[in-house]
Structure 1
Amino acid sequence: MRNFIIKTGSILVLCCCCITKVFAQQEPIYSQYMFNGMMINPAYPSMDESSSLTAVGRNQWVGVEGAPKTLTASFYTPIKATNTSFGVSLVNEKITVNSQTQVNFNVSQRVKLNEKTYIALGLKGGMAQFREDNSQLSTTDPVFAQNQSYWKTDVGFGLMLFTDHFFIGISSPTFQSFDLGGKVNKVEAKAHYYLQTGYLWTINDNVKVKPNILLRQVTGNGFAYDINTNVLLKNLIWLGASWRSEKTLTGIVQVQATKNLQIGYSYDTPMQSNLKGAQSVSHELMVNYRFAWSKWKVVAPRYF
C-alpha cells in the first residue's frame, strides 16, 4: 500500500508539472482552503461522512480601492449506503467594476481500495453571471461606455486518494468554460489546476499536527504554492500558519464552538507589497456547521 501511495503521488505531481501556459488567477483565493475543500476539489465531499454547510467571507487587501471581496456558501451531503455525495455552492465576488455570481453543482463517488484507503472522483458543473459596472469609469472609449452582463458555464473535476490520516488530490474546478451569448469584452476563462496533500500526526491525546501543501496553476501562468501547518489542541482549537508564494504570511485560528459548529478566522499580511499607502492585509471569516440528521448519529471530528 505504501508503494501504491508513493507511485500515485508521483503520477499526480508529474501530471501537474506537465501543465505550462500563463494568465492571472481568476478563481477566488482562500486562506482556510484546508477546511473548505469542495471549492478546490469536487471529490472532497467523499472524505466526509456527515452533511456540511460552510459560509466564507473574505475581504482582500483592506484599504485598496476596488480590491476583491468574496462571499461563498457551500453545502454537501452523502447519500446513505451509496458512497455518493452531492453538493452545491454559491459564490459572489466583486473586483473594481467587475463582479460575478456563480452557482455550482457537485457530485462525487468514492471507492474502497482496502480497509483504510479510498479513492474518489468528483465532477462539477456550474453557471456564472459576469457584470461590468462601466458607469464608474471615466473614459470616452465607446467599448466601455455601457454596463455589460454576460453568462458562462463551466465544468470541472477532482480526484482524491485518502485514508483517515492522509490525502492527496489533483483537481481542476474550472477545467473548461463555455460562453453564452455574444457580448463583447468577455473575460477569457483559463483552466485552473490544483495539487493538494496533507497528513495528520497524532502527538498525544491532546495534540495533533496537520501540515498541508497546495500547488496552484492557471493555464499560461507559473506555479504558485501554499505551505501550511495547523495544530489541533484538545480537539477544540486549531492554530495555524501559512506561507504563500506571493510572499504572504497567514495566521489561522479555528474554534470548535460545539460538536457541530466550527468558526475560523484568518489574517493575511504581505511581507513585500507594492500597494503603497494601503494597509493591504486580508481578512477571512469561516463558519461551518455539520449535521447529525438523527439523535443517534454522532458527527465524527473533521481533520481534513
Structure 2
Amino acid sequence: MVRRILIFIIICAACTGVKAQFDPQFSQNMFNMLAVNPAYAGASESINLTALNRNQWRIDSAGIKTTVFSGDMPINVFGTPSGIGLNVMNDQIGLFTNLSIGVNYASQFELIYGTLSLGLSVGFINQKFEGSKISFPDGKPDDAIPEVDMDGSAFDASLGAYFKAKKYYAGISLSHLNSPQPNYDENFSFSFRPTLYLTGGYNFKIEDTLYEVLPSFFMKTDGASMQVDINTLVRYKSRYWAGLTYRLQDAIVLLGGIEMKNGVRFGYSYDITTSAFATAKSGGTHEFMVGYNFDLSLEKRTKRYKSVRYL
C-alpha cells in the first residue's frame, strides 16, 4: 500500500485529540474568494460560478487532491443589497476525505469610498477515515490509529468582511468559529482549528495601453502554521492574464488564464516547490480553474455576461 507520505500523514493527523489546519491550500486565490470569505457573496454584482481542482504532492499514488465548487449571486433583502452563495469542497489527504458544504449570506453597505460586505457561512463538515486500507511496514499496528473505516460530521460556521473600491479590495475572515469536531467514537477525535484569512489587492492600469498590473496578497493562519502568498498578475485586454506567486518558504507559482468572449474563463497554475519537500520528487502541483460569470438583471438584457475582474 501507499507508504512514505501516507504513513506520515496518518501518524501526524490521526492521534487522539488532534487539532489540525483543515482548510486546503489554493494557488489561484484571487479567483476563489468565496471559498475563504462568506462576505464575498454577491460582490461581483452578477451570478458567479467557479470550480477548481488541485493535485498536490503526487508520491506513490498518494498526495492531496482537492476539488471545490462555489457559486454566488446578488439579491435584495427588504431593500438591502445582499448576496447569497454556496460552497462545496472535497479534500482528500491520504486516507482522510473531508467534505464540507456551506451556505453563505452577505449584507452590503455603501460607504464613501466603496462597498463593505459582512458575511456569514453555516454548514457542515463530514470526515471519512479509511482505516481498513492501512498497511504498516513492520506489521505492527499502532493503537492510536484505528484499522477500520470511520466517518463523522459536525456543524461548521464562518464569518467575514469584504471591502471593495474601484481599484482595490481587502478582506478578513475567520473559518471554523466553533472548532468543529466530527462525531467519531470517544477513542478517536479530530477537531479543526479556527483559521484567520487576510486578503487584499490593487488594480494598476498602465496608461495608454491595454495592460493592467494586479498585485495581491493572501494570508492564512490557524495559530500553529501560516501561509503567505504574494501575487502579481499582468492582464491584457481584460481577458488574458499571466503572473507569478511567491509562497513564503514553500513555492514559486506560475499562473495563466483566459476569459472567452462568452464569459467562460479558464485558469491554470503550477507550483514549483522550494521547501525541503522538493527532495521527495513530488512532481509539483497542478491546479485547474474554470468559471462563468453572467448578469441576469432584467434592466440589462443587452449584457449577457460580466467579467469578474476580482475587484
**1:44 is the counterpart of 2:40:** yes
Alignment of 1:165-204 (within 5 A): 165-179=167-181, 181-183=183-185, 184-204=187-207
What is residue 288 of structure 1 aligned with on the other side? 291
Deviation, 1:65, is: 4.0
Deviation, 1:121, is: 0.3
The DSSP-based 3-state class of the residue aligned with 2:192 is: coil
CA displacement 1:52-80 (0-9 Å, x = unmatched): 11111000013354211001111111114
Opposite residue 81 of structure 2, the aligned amino acid is N
**1:272 is the counterpart of 2:275:** yes
What is residue 3 of structure 2 aligned with on the other side? none
Aligned-partner Cα distance in 1 for 2:21–2:248: 13
Q: How many residues are aligned here?
A: 281
Opposite residue 227 of structure 1, the aligned amino acid is I
What is residue 147 of structure 2 aligned with on the other side? 145
The DSSP-based 3-state class of the residue aligned with 1:225 is: strand
Aligned-partner Cα distance in 2 for 1:94–1:223: 21
Aligned-partner Cα distance in 2 for 1:54–1:222: 27
Deviation, 1:174, is: 2.3
Contact 2:48 2:292 in 1 (8 A): yes
Opposite residue 174 of structure 2, the aligned amino acid is S
Structure 2 residues not aligned, in runs of 5+: 1-18
Opposite residue 181 of structure 1, the aligned amino acid is N
Aligned-partner Cα distance in 1 for 2:277–2:179: 32
Deviation, 1:133, is: 0.5
Structure 1 residues not aligned, in runs of 5+: 1-22
Q: What percent identity do the matched residue pairs reach?
A: 26
Deviation, 1:24, is: 4.8
Contact 1:59 1:283 in 2 (8 A): yes
Contact 2:88 2:100 in 1 (8 A): yes
Deviation, 1:236, is: 1.6
CA displacement 1:170-191 (0-9 Å, x = unmatched): 1113222334535242222101
Contact 2:219 2:227 in 1 (8 A): yes
Alignment of 1:91-130 (within 5 A): 91-114=89-112, 116-130=113-127
Contact 2:183 2:189 in 1 (8 A): no
Alignment of 1:200-211 (within 5 A): 200-204=203-207, 205-211=209-215
Contact 1:46 1:120 in 2 (8 A): no
Distance change in 2, residues 1:182/1:300 (3 Å): closer
What is residue 231 of structure 2 aligned with on the other side? 228
